[in-house]
Amino acid sequence: MRRDEREIRNYIAKIKEMHISEEKENRAIEAAKKAFYEGEQERDASFPEFLYEQSRYIQKRWWILQAAVLMGLWWLLVYTESGAYVKKGMGMAASLFAVLIMPELWKNRNTGAMEIEGTTFYTLRQMYAARIMAFALADGFILGIFFAAASLSGRITLWEAVVQFFIPFNISCCICFGTLYSRKTGSEVFSVFLCMMWDAVWFLFLLQESIYEAVTKPVWALIFISSVLYLFYCVSRGQKKWRQMWEVQILWN
């Protein structure tokens, strides 16, 4: 055995024989964590910087696919003679538009990386808030262009957009975020399945002309407002109780 190897073995044996106080060890760990935390706070990123950094982790193909869905819908509205039927089919496009948000938000859960994310300086709540904000800004921009183009072409009114697109879209988002922040039904496939079921229910409802025409504008407005409020509730509840729902141990925060 070489001399250096023998010295290493002797050192390891000596360390094993030493009795280290568990209390002192815990104090040393806490002091190291505190020193690291204070050092990181000195160079803490601003929210715009943090938002930009998190948006870089989002694969841009999902935004491209969302834009493609709306472009196809706009083409059908403008260049086909079946405008009324296309408008009724907007709910299915809205649901697909919502589902395309989920792969990026589900990425950490699907790959089992939640515990790894839990060791980072920023919490999962902060990271998911930034990613949701990035999607909200990007989707708002894409939807703004789509509805501006559709309105200028005279193919759709704001009220039709609310009823035919945003109500199905909001409910699909509620389903997606409800399953994302669920501890019992945490499955992306299950989320997509529920959205498909919702699509079927919505489409069957639209086929019932007498029932559809009987719904008054105040009722539609109430449904829309309720869907928006419940969507905010799903997201805010998940952001507040994410530790219990995802059962993640956090190292720094």
Residue 154 — left, alpha, or beta (φ > 0 → left; ψ -120 to 50 → alpha)?
A: left
Task: Report pLDDT for 91.
Answer: 87
Taking residue 110's Cβ as centre, other Cβ atoms within 10 Å add up to: 12
Average pLDDT, the chain: 79
The three-state secondary structure class of 56 is coil
Task: Report pLDDT for 112.
Answer: 56
Separation CA 76–CA 82 (nearest Å): 8
Name every residue whose Cβ is closer than 8 Å to that of residue 18 and which is 6 or more positions away in sequence: none
Q: What percent of the chain has pLDDT over 70?
A: 73
Write down the pTM of the prediction. 0.73
Separation CA 233–CA 230 (nearest Å): 5
Count each helix (H run) and each strand (E run) in the chain, helices first: 15, 0
- By the 10 Å C-beta count (0-12 exposed, 13-18 middle, 19+ buried), 117 is classed as middle
CB 136 within 8 A of CB 101: no
Task: Report pLDDT for 119.
Answer: 53
CA dihedral 175, 176, 180, 184 (to 10 degrees): 40
Pick 138 or 155 by higher pLDDT: 138
- Sign, CA dihedral 183-189-193-198, equals positive
Task: Report pLDDT for 247.
Answer: 46
Pick 117 or 214 by higher pLDDT: 214
Retrieve residue 117's tokens. 């994310």
Q: What is the CA radius of gyration of the chain?
A: 26
Task: Report pLDDT for 45.
Answer: 63
Q: What is the mean pLDDT of residues 148-167?
A: 86
Retrieve residue 189's tokens. 């496939």
How does pLDDT run across 200-243, given as a tens digit for each residue?
Answer: 999 888 888 888 888 899 999 999 999 999 999 988 887 776 65
Task: Report pLDDT for 151.
Answer: 84
How does pLDDT run across 40-70, given as a tens digit for each residue?
Answer: 555 566 777 777 887 887 888 989 999 999 9
